[in-house]
Every structure is written in C-alpha cells, then in structure tokens.
C-alpha cells in the first residue's frame, strides 16, 4: 500500500522529521535493512562511517555540545551495543542530548541463543534518560518522538532505541511520521521559576558581604550567558566555574575568576571559594571536583542554588534558597528583579578581587611558560595554543595531562561552548573522536583536540575517519610515555611507589602520517610555536606530537598536588 513504509524506512523518516542532519555509526549484520533505507531514500542526512561504536557516540556527543541539537549515533547488536555504552553514559551525565540506535536480533529469535543476543533493554536502562527496545514496527514513530521529547526537555540527556532486525521489514503507516519542532533542539519547553523564588534568591545574595557565583555546564546548555553577564556586572559579582561551566563568561571577562576546585583550580582561585560567605551554585551540581571533595563551601557558608533539576537542590549542602527552573529564564527574572528594586543596588568589588587573584595566578604560570628549558613544559604548550587560537575556535581535551592546564590557563575570548571535555566519567580516548563531531557541528570553526599519549592510543584508528572526512582538525598529543595522571597521583598518594603506569614511547607523528595527516614531532621548546602556527594554518587534518615533561614532575594546577 502506498500509505505504508517498512520499519527501517520509518526510522529514517522519523529522524528526518526531527531535523537530524548527521548520524555517526558503524555497520553490522542486524543493520542491513536500516542501511539499505539510508541508501535508497532521499533524506538529506549525512551518515559518517566510524571505525568504532564508542567513537560514534563521542562524535554525537561533540556534535550535540556545539550545536544544541540532538547528536545521533548507531551501531549493530552484540558488541556494537556494548561498545556504544561509554559515550551514552558520558552524554547522559553531562546533560547532553545524544540518541543511540542499536539494531538488534529479530524479536522472533529472542531466547533461542542466536548470535549477538544481549538484553539491550536491561543493558541501557541505567545509563539513559529514555530507553526501549521497540517490539513492533508501527511503534517506531511514537518511540522516536518519545526519545526526542525525553532528551530535550527538563535536564537534557541521552536516549537509546533498540531496533530489531525483523521489525525493520514490517509495515508502518506513513501518516504517523511527524514531530514537534520544539524537540529538534535543547533545552525544549523551558520551565519558568516558581513565583517568589527568584526574588528570595536575589534578596539572599544582596544580604551577603562577599558572595561568589559558581557556574556549571547548565548555564551554557541553557544559553544563559548574556543574562549571567548582565546580572554579575550589575552587582560587580565574581563568577567562578566548574570545568563544564567554562564559557559561562569569557575567560577574559573582568568578572571571570576561572575554574575552581581540584582540577584546573589553583590556590589563588580557591581563595574566593573558601572566603565567600554565600555561594550561588548556578547550573552546577556541586560535585566532588568543583568543591575539592566538599572542602568548600564549609558549614556556615550560605547556599543559593539555581538549577533545572530539582534533584540537585540540597543534594550536597543545606540550601537557603533553591530556584528550580531553566537558567535563562531564572537569570532573566533575577535581572528584572534588580531593575525593579527601589534605591541603589550594592556592589561586591568582584572585578578588583578577580584582577588581583588572576595577577598572582598568572605570575606563577608566566614564570614557567616563559622559562628557557631543554624540556617542553605543559605551560609552553598551552601558551603556544592560546597564541594561535582564533577567537571562535573549539578546543576539545581528554581528561589527562592537557585538561587541568587548559582549565586553568585558557584565554577563551567569547562566552559559549568553545571548550569540550568529558568530565562526567572521564574516559580516555574521547577527544580524538569528539573533535570530529564538533567539526561536523561547526565546520567553519577551527577545532583543536588535545590529549595525552595514553588517550591517543585508545582511539588513533579513528584518524582514518578524520582523513576520509577531510576535517581540518589539529591534534596536539602531549607525549610523556605514561598514564600521567595516575603516576602523579602515585607520587603524592603512594609516596612515589610507581607501579605499572609507564609504557614505551611511540612516534605518534609517524602513526598519524601513515593515516594521511600532516604531522610534526616537536622535542624542543624553541620549535613549538612554529609547529603550532603551521598546523593551525594547514587546510587539512594535522597532528603535533609534543615530547614533554612528565606530569609527575610538572607544576600541574591540581590542588591536591600543589601543597
């Protein structure tokens, strides 16, 4: 019948109806009908063939972070479903909308021990905001709609749809293919604050003597940067961030204190966290990293908390005022509240205090960054990258050596999502793939990915995908021949009893060149800036392999290592 289509075609048309422009994924036996539908239909979706399902999920994650649209990844049954898991849990816990579609064995063969059988429903349930294995073809359109509705509303997150082989051939009514345009991006259907809650929060802030705002990723996800700037500027109120909150204000903003906490925070920035008499957590879960394992705020420091997730309010600290709503709407209401106040609005001397702290923090950094040494220091690398980055560049970092340094010392000149790192679960191998997803989302921006050599070896096979995509990404590998974060932790926590953290040195430039990238191998500080400048200027994929100081010997901005 002309008003029907096959299940696989219905899945493609449903994704098309939701504005999907890119799918990252890897083929398998159970995917045959879906791929055939992708090939035969005119849908306008670019399918990017990856070399690993984990990479596909990381690409979808990077894409979602820079576009504010749902990132889509797919993979086959069995190993494909299990490999895609790390990217799903990262996106879900970081509040980014990523949809994973894993095809599955036929419903008719469940329980007969077919090849690649796994209970996908049970596997994905703890990791996602919405999850189902579709059992009937005519349910496909409604399940896609439900997945997009879940991913984009409230606290955004990940979803999973299992698509069994046999239902991909079964009929679906064509008139059931439709979508709500609101669910094409996130956050959708923003919720306004409870009456009186914003006013109570503002009054609490105005009664403080030295308040501090601490922003998490929620501010950037909500696109509330302008409203935050106006609020903080009006009160001359300093703004610190978690790692995920970088971009809430530009790094160069006079009120931007920078990252606080145990990864990228320094003793200087911690001064304001420790001395604040009131901390305003804004789109921030007040987790272990930002609070240095809850070292501060301490009992007695007042807490005001803005978040769109009610489960976050009061989870870690007694909260004087909680505002549960979309951050953009909450901050707009806070600005209106200040506008309507009679009499003068107090200021908190934030810009002067931030300037003093930054002067002292960067004096220490600059002394190392400008030092003449035979060994390349991480400070040299960050300085060279900062000098070459265009204002709209996107920087992606793995959680290893590069992460604390860029957290602390970046010079991002624009607010927004220009820095990506996987801080929810911190898996190595993320940035190489996520950078490609970010480039597909912002092809006109320079994308730079930084990683340690441990991370590079998790994911270097995906360089073939980068070459095939002709993506002019620059990869910077900080090579120190060890799992540096763990080795530095063994130095401090195990009294330098190093065990099984070192591995052989690899010529990563040669590896990348074999894939087709233009590469540089840099071993001396005086060669570094020229290599970075050339790599950034090249119109194709590039990689710089930088042999650098081991992390256990470095002055990394990690608070527990800085005592």
- Tell me the pLDDT tens digit for each residue of 419-429: 999 988 889 99
Q: Are both 330 and 411 inside the same structural domain?
A: no
21 & 164 share domain: yes
Task: Check whether residue 413 and residue 537 sit in a common domain.
Answer: yes
In this structure, are 130 and 162 located in the same domain? yes
Query: Coil, strand or helix: which one is 176?
Result: helix
Mention every residue, 6+ apart, whose C-beta is less than 8 A from residue 320: 204, 278, 302, 303, 304
Same domain, 446 and 516: yes
- Is residue 377 classed as helix, strand or coil in its secondary structure? coil
The count of structural domains within the chain is 3
Distance in angstroms (rounded) separating the CA atoms of residues 321 and 312: 13
Alpha-helix runs per DSSP H in 239-393: 267-275, 327-339, 350-369, 378-388
Q: What is the pLDDT of residues 178-237, one digit of tens each?
A: 999 999 999 999 999 999 999 999 999 999 999 999 999 999 999 999 999 999 999 999
Q: Is residue 359 part of a domain?
A: no
Instruction: Specify the pairing of strand 71-75 against strand 419-421.
Output: unpaired
What's residue 559's pLDDT?
A: 83
**Rounded-to-integer distance, Cα 420 and Cα 397, Å:** 6
CA atoms within 13 A on the CB side of 373: 16
Minimal CA–CA distance to 326: which of 286, 283, 284? 283
First to last CA, the chain: 73
| Structural domain harbouring 508 | 370-561
Question: What is residue 2's predicted lDDT score, i.e. its pLDDT?
Answer: 59
Token digits for 19? 């504005």
Q: Are strands 171-173 and 4-6 parallel, antiparallel or unpaired?
A: antiparallel
Q: What is the pLDDT of residue 535?
A: 98
CATH number at residue 413: 3.40.50.970
Q: How many whole angstroms separate alpha carbon 303 and alpha carbon 437?
A: 37
14 and 163 housed in the same domain: yes
> Which of left, alpha, beta for 410 (phi over 0: left; psi -120 to 50: alpha)?
beta
Answer whether residue 407 shows pLDDT above 90.
Answer: yes
Phi, psi of 254 (to 5 degrees): -65, -20
Which pLDDT belongs to residue 537?
97
* DSSP states of 388-421: H--TT-EEEE-SSTHHHHHHHH----SSSS-EEE
Which of 328, 353, 378 is where one domain is finished?
Answer: 353
74 shares a domain with 140: yes
SS3 of residue 37 by DSSP: helix
Query: Mean pLDDT throughout 107-118?
Result: 90
Whether the per-residue pLDDT at 1 is higher than 90: the answer is: no
Residues 423 and 343 in one domain: no
Percent of the chain as helix, strand, coil, to the nearest 5: 45, 20, 40
190 assigned to some structural domain: no
How sure is the predictor about 560, in pLDDT bands with cuts at 50, 70 and 90?
Answer: confident
Rounded to whole angstroms, the Cα distance separating 267 from 261 reads 9
Q: State the pLDDT at residue 35.
A: 98
Residue identified by tokens 């906490």 is: 261
The answer on 529 and 387 residing in a single domain is yes
CATH number, domain containing residue 299: 3.40.50.1220
Give residue 255's pLDDT band: very low, low, confident or very high (50, 70, 90).
Answer: very high
Asked whether residue 400 falls in the same domain as residue 339, the answer is no
Question: Is residue 58 situated within a structural domain?
Answer: yes
The pLDDT value given to residue 342 = 81
Cα-trace Rg, the chain: 24
Query: What is the pLDDT, as a whole number, of residue 59?
Result: 98
| Predicted pLDDT at 563 | 58
Domain for residue 391, yes or no? yes
Domain membership flag for residue 363 = no
Beta strands, E only, 400-525:
419-421, 447-452, 474-479, 518-522
Average pLDDT over residues 387-413: 95
Mean pLDDT over the full length of the chain:
96
pLDDT at 346: 84
Question: Where does the pLDDT of residue 536 fall: very low under 50, low under 70, confident under 90, or very high at 90 and above?
Answer: very high
**pLDDT grade for 343, boundaries at 50, 70 and 90:** confident
**Eight-state DSSP code of residue 111:** T
169 alpha-carbon distance from chain centroid: 37
* Residue 419 backbone dihedrals phi, psi, to 5 degrees: -135, 130
Q: Are residues 89 and 208 in the same domain?
A: no
| Judgement on whether residues 406 and 544 belong to the same structural domain of the protein | yes
């Amino acid at each position: 019948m002309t008003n029907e289509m096959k299940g696989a075609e219905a899945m493609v048309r449903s994704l098309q109806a939701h504005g999907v422009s890119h799918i990252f994924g890897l083929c398998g036996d159970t995917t045959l009908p879906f791929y055939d539908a992708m090939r035969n239909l005119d849908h306008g979706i670019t399918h990017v063939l990856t070399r690993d399902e984990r990479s596909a999920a990381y690409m979808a994650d990077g894409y979602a972070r820079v576009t504010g649209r749902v990132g889509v990844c797919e993979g086959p049954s069995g190993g494909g479903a299990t490999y895609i898991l790390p990217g799903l849990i990262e996106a879900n816990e970081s509040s980014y909308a990523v949809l994973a579609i894993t095809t599955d064995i036929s419903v008719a063969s469940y329980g007969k021990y077919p090849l690649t059988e796994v209970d996908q429903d049970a596997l994905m349930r703890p990791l996602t905001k919405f999850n189902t294995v579709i059992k009937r073809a005519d349910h496909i359109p409604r399940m896609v709609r439900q997945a997009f509705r879940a991913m984009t509303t409230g606290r955004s997150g990940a979803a999973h749809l299992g698509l069994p082989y046999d239902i991909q051939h079964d009929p679906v009514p064509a008139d059931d293919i439709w979508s709500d345009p609101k669910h094409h991006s996130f956050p959708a259907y923003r919720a306004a604050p409870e009456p009186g809650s914003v006013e109570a929060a503002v009054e609490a802030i105005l009664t403080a003597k030295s308040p501090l705002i601490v922003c998490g990723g929620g501010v950037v996800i909500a696109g509330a940067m302008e409203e935050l700037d106006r609020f903080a500027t009006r009160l001359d109120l300093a703004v610190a961030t978690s790692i995920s909150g970088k971009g809430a204000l530009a790094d160069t903003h006079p009120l931007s204190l920078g990252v606080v906490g145990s990864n990228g925070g320094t003793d200087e920035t911690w001064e304001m966290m420790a001395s604040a008499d009131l901390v305003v957590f804004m789109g921030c879960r007040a987790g272990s990293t930002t609070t240095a394992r809850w070292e501060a705020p301490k009992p007695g420091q007042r807490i005001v908390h803005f978040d769109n997730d009610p489960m976050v309010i009061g989870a870690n600290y007694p909260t004087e005022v909680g505002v549960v709503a979309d951050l953009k709407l909450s901050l707009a209401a806070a600005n209106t509240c200040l506008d309507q106040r009679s009499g003068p609005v107090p200021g908190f001397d934030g810009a002067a205090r931030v300037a003093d702290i930054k002067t002292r923090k960067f004096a220490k950094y600059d002394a190392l960054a400008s030092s003449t040494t035979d060994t390349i220091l991480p400070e040299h690398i960050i300085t060279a990258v900062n000098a070459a980055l265009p204002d709209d560049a996107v920087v992606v970092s793995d959680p290893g050596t590069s992460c604390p340094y860029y957290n602390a010392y970046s010079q991002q000149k624009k607010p927004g999502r220009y820095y990506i790192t996987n801080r929810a679960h911190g898996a190595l191998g993320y940035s190489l793939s996520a950078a490609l997803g970010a480039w597909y989302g912002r092809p006109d921006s320079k994308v730079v990915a930084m990683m340690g050599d441990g991370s590079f070896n998790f994911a270097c096979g995906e360089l073939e995908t980068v070459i095939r995509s002709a993506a002019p990404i620059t990869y910077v590998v900080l090579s120190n021949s060890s799992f540096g974060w763990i080795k530095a932790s063994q130095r401090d926590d195990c009294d330098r009893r190093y065990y099984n953290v070192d591995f052989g040195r690899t010529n990563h430039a040669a590896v990348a060149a074999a894939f087709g990238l233009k590469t540089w191998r840099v071993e001396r500080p005086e060669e570094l800036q020229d290599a970075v400048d050339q790599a950034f200027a090249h119109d194709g994929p590039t990689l710089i392999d930088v042999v650098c100081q081991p992390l256990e010997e470095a002055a990394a901005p990690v608070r527990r290592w800085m005592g």
